[in-house]
């Protein structure tokens, strides 16, 4: 039997933030098909389990790409498939990752209560490391924010930033990459949740910290989507205190994000900034109008690609 393609899925996961969802779609689908084909040619239990894990990780990357492209139904289907692979392989970190993805989709789809329940189920799985728990707590914080429970959202934010127990797992830590949850991604998520619960000051601090952490990484390791999301949140937080100039300065980091990396979460954040700019008192401000037009141009540059050919790549 051919070698288990575990290193391939690890490489894809670690390159995800630098290449974006479009590049991952075809490769992850091919890897998933390869793992399933190899499963048909072995009855060795350890090989079967290894291939199930590879297939589950490929499915998870497909689900993440679908989510980033705004294809929520396809992403939900793939995250459920991922969870089944994890259950069959008895690999609980993969099940927890899938539940976290389903929780993202639930609160984005207007079902924050379901998202909180999914996070609770994910946290109950065994074998989770500190990174996995921080990711799930950050998701819980956002879900609680969407529920309107500000205190629970803030409590989850605080819990997500507590020192861990020095525990790692074979997915979020050993594979890492898109399965991980970097410090900058954590504080970027905290910024978004802070905006959701109306805490502009905390949002500004978290977003600025995220941008600092991104800038401290070597250029090849910087996540353009995380940088863009943090910058958009920083701009929105500054607009809450009527600092148009500061918002414009923050958005300079957004304009450099390549079209193929303008994921749905980034576009949603820039659209939120645009919504503020069309309200009073900004409607009569020329700098605000120009900033809004630039956001529209940025969004328009991503839209022709959003969803193009995605459905076919997601089909089994």
> Domain segments of the chain: what residues?
1-129, 199-316
Q: How confident is the model at residue 311 (pLDDT cuts 50, 70, 90)?
A: low
Q: What is the pTM of this model?
A: 0.93
Owner of token pair 């969803």: 307
At 178-225, the pLDDT tens digits run 999 999 999 999 999 999 999 999 999 999 999 999 999 999 889 999
Other beta carbons within 10 angstroms of residue 76's beta carbon come to 19
Instruction: Give me 25's structure tokens.
Output: 């779609």
Rounded Cα gap, residues 248 and 35, in angstroms: 47
Please check whether the domain covering 1-129 is classified as CATH 1.25.40.10: yes
CA distances from 126 to 51, 175, 202, 243, 245 (A): 21, 18, 33, 46, 48
Asked if pLDDT for residue 36 goes beyond 70, the answer is yes
Among residues 174, 182, 180, the alpha carbon closest in space to that of 6 is found at: 174
């Amino acid at each position: 039997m051919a070698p288990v393609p575990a290193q391939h899925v690890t490489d894809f996961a670690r390159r995800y933030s630098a290449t974006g969802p479009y590049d991952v779609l075809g490769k992850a689908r091919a890897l998933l098909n390869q793992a399933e084909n190899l499963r048909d040619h072995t009855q060795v239990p350890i090989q079967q389990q290894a291939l199930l894990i590879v297939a589950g990780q490929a499915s998870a990357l497909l689900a993440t790409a679908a989510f980033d492209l705004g294809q929520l139904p396809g992403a939900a289907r793939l995250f459920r498939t991922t969870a089944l692979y994890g259950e069959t392989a008895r690999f609980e970190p993969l099940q927890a990752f899938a539940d976290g993805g389903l929780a993202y989709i639930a609160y984005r789809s207007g079902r924050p209560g379901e998202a909180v329940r999914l996070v609770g189920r994910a946290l109950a799985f065994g074998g989770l490391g500190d990174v996995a728990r921080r990711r799930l707590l950050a998701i819980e914080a956002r879900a609680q924010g969407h529920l309107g429970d500000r205190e629970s959202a803030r409590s989850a934010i605080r819990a997500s930033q507590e020192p861990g127990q020095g525990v790692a797992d074979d997915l979020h830590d050993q594979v890492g990459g898109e399965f991980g949850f970097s410090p900058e991604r954590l504080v970027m998520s905290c910024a978004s949740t802070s905006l959701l619960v109306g805490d502009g000051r905390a949002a500004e601090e978290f977003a600025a910290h995220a941008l600092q952490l991104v800038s401290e990484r070597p250029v090849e390791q910087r996540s353009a989507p995380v940088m863009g999301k943090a910058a958009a949140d920083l701009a929105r937080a500054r607009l809450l205190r009527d600092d148009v100039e500061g918002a414009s300065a923050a958005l300079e980091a957004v304009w450099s994000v390549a079209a193929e990396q303008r994921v749905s979460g980034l576009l949603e954040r820039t659209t939120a900034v645009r919504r503020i700019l069309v309200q009073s008192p900004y409607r009569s401000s020329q700098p605000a109008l120009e900033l809004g037009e630039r956001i529209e141009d940025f969004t328009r540059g991503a839209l022709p690609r959003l969803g193009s050919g995605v459905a076919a790549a997601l089909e089994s």
